[in-house]
Every structure is written in C-alpha cells, then in structure tokens.
Amino acid sequence: MSYPNERNLGIIKEFRANAGKVGGPFAGRSLLLLHTCGAKSQEPRINPVACFIDGDRLVIIASKGGAPTHPDWYYNLLANPLVSVETGTEEFQARASVAEEPERTRLYNKMVERMPGFDEYRRRTTRVIPVIILTRVNTKE
C-alpha cells in the first residue's frame, strides 16, 4: 500500500483513534476516509475528505483547495468507482459517481453552507470542481 503524505497520515491516525473526530482546522467538520485504488498503479490509497450526508448518500468535493488540477483520488475513483469508506467507526463499500448539473451546483452550495471555505476554493480556480456522490453498496445480496 502507498502511504499518505505525513499530514494526511496524522489526520488518518487521529480519525481512527477518535471514532472519526479530528481537531485542528477540521474540528467539528464531517470527514470520511476514502479508500481508492490507484488509477495507474492499482495500489490502495487512503485520503481524508470533507463530506456531508444527502439523503442516503454521502457527498464529497474534489476541490483540492481550489488548485488548478483535480486531486489524484478523483482520477482513482473515475478509473475504479467501487470504493471503501470509513465514517466514524463504520467501514463500508460505496459506488462513486460524478454529479451532473444542476445537482452538482445544488450539492456544492450545500457544502458551502456547512463549510464556507469551499466557496473560496471555487473562486481560486477556473476549473469546474467535481462533486462526487458515494452510494452505499449492499454487500449482503
């Protein structure tokens, strides 16, 4: 497995040690750990990602802090949309899909209501920031 960068590794350890809660700039924020498979390497990857619940789905944003390029995990889930998700103390499989308009804008605005920093991210870049919907996969079929 590829190891996350040092900053993310600290967040992952804190997340797991505290049933999904972390401090610092993420205190009080909803985070999940997104497990993807590398698009090119096929190696497992883990990334902490801000999220919110929309009905029976989880929503994440591929903002990369407003950088001009998408985060690597976005390309991973495009290539391999079956992912694992850790929320709190629960881990489950989900299918990732990219939200289309007008749902993309509705969901992005919902994230901005919860975490206003996401408004700044979209102002920093000219790219359309993808919104990803994670739908739980029933593995008991």
According to the model, what pLDDT value does residue 112 have? 96
In a domain, 66, yes or no: yes
Average pLDDT over residues 104-120: 96
According to the model, what pLDDT value does residue 27 have? 79
Amino acid present at 72: D
According to the model, what pLDDT value does residue 24 have? 80
Residues 6 or more apart in contact with residue 39 via CB below 8 angstroms: 72, 75, 76, 78, 79, 80
pLDDT surpasses 70 at 1: no
In a domain, 141, yes or no: no
Q: How many domains does the chain have?
A: 1
Q: What would the pLDDT profile of 5-30 be if each residue is shown by its tens digit?
A: 777 888 899 999 998 888 887 777 89
Structural domain span for residue 41: 6-136
CA distance readout (Å), 119 to 26, 67, 95: 16, 13, 26
According to the model, what pLDDT value does residue 141 have? 47
In a domain, 1, yes or no: no
In a domain, 55, yes or no: yes
Residue with tokens 């509705």: 106
In a domain, 87, yes or no: yes
| Sign of the alpha-carbon torsion through 17, 22, 28, 29 | negative
Domain with residue 87: its CATH number is 2.30.110.10
